[in-house]
């Protein structure tokens, strides 16, 4: 038997984590089925969400190993580049990044 962890954030600030003992040769999809997550979270199958192991994409037919952390990823609602750009505009150039703290008498950006 191998110990694996399943992690899924079904909504904002709502994370589900399950520790599971599975037999050798178990696939990622088998682990989801054994944990009952395919029935508990039908969105996993209805809208094919991306799955991964330790932050790297994996197919559902990937064989699991001892200590694997299986993660189910929802789609991003906002592009991170756009969100960063909007935060920067809101803060202004003086309050973000290199310009946030300056030494007295130094040039901007140093």
Q: Which CATH architecture has domain 2-73?
A: Roll (3.10)
Determine the pLDDT at residue 67.
92
Q: pTM for the whole thing?
A: 0.67
- The whole-chain average pLDDT of the chain stands at 82
Region of 97 on the Ramachandran plot (φ > 0 left; ψ -120 to 50 alpha; else beta): left
Length of the chain: 110
pLDDT tens-digit profile of 37-53?
888 888 887 777 888 99
Q: Please give the span between the terminal C-alpha atoms of the chain, in angstroms, as a whole number.
A: 56
> 77-105: per-residue pLDDT in tens?
788 888 888 877 766 655 555 556 666 76
Residue 100 DSSP symbol: S
């Amino acid at each position: 038997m191998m110990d694996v962890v399943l992690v899924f954030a079904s909504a904002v600030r709502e994370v589900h984590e399950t520790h599971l003992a599975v037999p050798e040769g178990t696939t990622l999809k088998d682990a989801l089925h054994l944990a009952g997550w395919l029935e508990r979270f039908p969105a996993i199958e209805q809208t094919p969400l991306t799955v991964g192991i330790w932050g790297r994409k994996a197919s559902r037919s990937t064989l699991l190993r001892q200590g694997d952390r299986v993660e189910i990823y929802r789609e991003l609602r906002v592009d991170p580049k756009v969100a960063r750009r909007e935060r920067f505009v809101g803060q202004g150039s003086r309050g973000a990044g290199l310009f946030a703290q300056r030494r007295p008498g130094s040039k901007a950006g140093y």
